[in-house]
């Protein structure tokens, strides 16, 4: 067993060296995206799914598959997502008002935009109307099961806001974008640290410290935020009355995140204490790579300042891919910085990787 582990680690390291030296172009990005996506599909087919199809982990994965479908023009991924939606009868999870349970609706609206079948968004549209009707006057303090009713943790900003924003795009009903904005800023006013330009995971972390005495800012937690932020912006018209405030927030976070990139091109589990978590982490890195590349591609960030950060991050992400396409170094389900190994994987990590690749492919093609 020990011999097998050593051989596996040496193989992974050799792949990392190859990817670090490889030139990044659109075709190479699409090839490795297909490789990672194919591994995950085979894993589901051969070993089953670890989570229900409607679960938030899966919803984040589906976001990546839809991005790969759009950039790679491969209908197999669209058909796979439609089959999943059909099997769920286009319902979200059982906890109606918890953002995790309607993350999957992002995919529903995207599939609907291709097929125009009203049943694909009917259930979520009714739920979204219920969300709008609620008063949203509760405190976001982490108690009394607040997460089942409000976006009281930073991860929720990837799960809930984009679902409502995509619904706006496919229906044209501005009320869905307005509730997105209203609830986004409620969460931000509560969890965003204006000194660090980062989000606490939830109120329990306001006073916690890392081993080095710094505040606790979780890499994937802030990755969820940046991923959600650009997905909202992608569905927000240029003349929307609140857009400038979202752009300002995005640019502040982008500058901060870029300054925290480690020498290996990744962001480790604890943003302000990488020495306590020296191993690279792929899910937070994937979301940052995605969000920063999106900013370059959409004129929100200057190419000259940020493209090296993105390219370095993408090469590091490629180095997390094993020879068979498995994406490793993905911190497991949690709520704070934790240790990670080369063998750790999860579908949200695959989703982040595919989202990152979709924007990197556009960036390198535009700046060939």
- Catalytic annotation on 155? yes
Question: Greatest CA span in the chain, whole angstroms?
Answer: 61
Q: Do the beta carbons of residue 109 and residue 170 sit within 8 Å? A: yes
Q: Which helix (H) or strand (E) holds 44?
A: helix 26-47
What does the alpha-carbon distance between residue 221 and residue 236 come to, in Å, rounded to a whole number? 23
The DSSP code sequence of 217-246 is -BHHHHHHHHHHHHHHHHTS-TT-TTHHHH
Options 34, 101, 155, 264, the catalytic residue:
155
Three-class SS of residue 176? Answer: helix
Q: Do the beta carbons of residue 178 and residue 131 sit within 8 Å? A: no
Q: Tell me the helices (H) and strands (E) count for the chain, helix number first.
A: 15, 2
φ, ψ of residue 277 in degrees (nearest 5): -130, 75
**272-308 b/e with 16+ CB inside 10 Å = b?**
bbbeebebbbbbbbbbbbbbbbbbbbeebbeeeebbe
Distances (CA, A) of 270 to 12, 260, 264, 276, 347: 24, 10, 15, 8, 21
- The residues that are catalytic are 155
């Amino acid at each position: 067993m020990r011999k097998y582990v050593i051989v596996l680690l040496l193989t992974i390291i050799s792949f990392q060296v190859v990817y670090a030296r490889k030139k990044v172009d659109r075709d190479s990005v699409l090839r490795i995206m297909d490789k990672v996506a194919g591994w995950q599909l085979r894993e589901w087919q051969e070993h089953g799914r670890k989570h229900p199809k409607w679960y938030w982990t899966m919803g984040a994965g589906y976001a990546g598959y839809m991005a790969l479908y759009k950039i790679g023009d491969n209908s197999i991924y669209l058909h796979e997502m439609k089959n999943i939606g059909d099997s769920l009868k286009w319902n979200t999870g059982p906890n109606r008002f918890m953002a995790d349970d309607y993350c999957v609706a992002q995919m529903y609206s995207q599939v609907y935009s291709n097929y125009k079948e009203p049943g694909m968004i009917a259930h979520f549209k009714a739920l979204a109307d219920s969300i709008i009707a609620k008063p949203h006057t509760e405190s976001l303090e982490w108690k009394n099961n607040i997460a089942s009713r409000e976006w009281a943790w930073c991860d929720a900003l990837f799960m809930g806001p984009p679902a409502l924003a995509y619904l706006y795009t496919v229906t044209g009903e501005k009320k869905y974008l307005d509730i997105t904005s209203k609830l986004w800023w409620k969460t931000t006013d509560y969890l965003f640290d204006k000194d660090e330009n980062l989000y606490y995971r939830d109120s329990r972390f306001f006073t916690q410290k890392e081993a080095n005495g710094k505040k606790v800012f979780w890499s994937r937690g802030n990755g969820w935020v940046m991923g959600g932020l650009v997905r909202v912006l992608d569905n927000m018209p240029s003349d929307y009355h609140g857009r400038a405030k979202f752009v300002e927030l995005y640019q502040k976070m982008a500058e901060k995140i870029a300054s925290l990139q480690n020498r290996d091109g990744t962001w480790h589990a604890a943003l302000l204490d990488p020495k306590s978590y020296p191993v690279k982490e792929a899910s937070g890195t994937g979301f940052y790579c995605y969000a920063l590349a999106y900013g370059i591609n959409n004129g929100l960030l200057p190419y000259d300042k940020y493209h090296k950060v993105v390219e370095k991050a993408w090469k590091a992400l490629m180095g997390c891919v094993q020879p068979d396409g498995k994406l490793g170094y993905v911190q497991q389900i949690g709520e704070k910085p934790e240790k990670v190994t080369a063998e750790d994987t999860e579908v949200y990590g695959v989703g982040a990787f595919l989202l990152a690749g979709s924007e990197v492919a556009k960036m390198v093609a535009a700046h060939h």
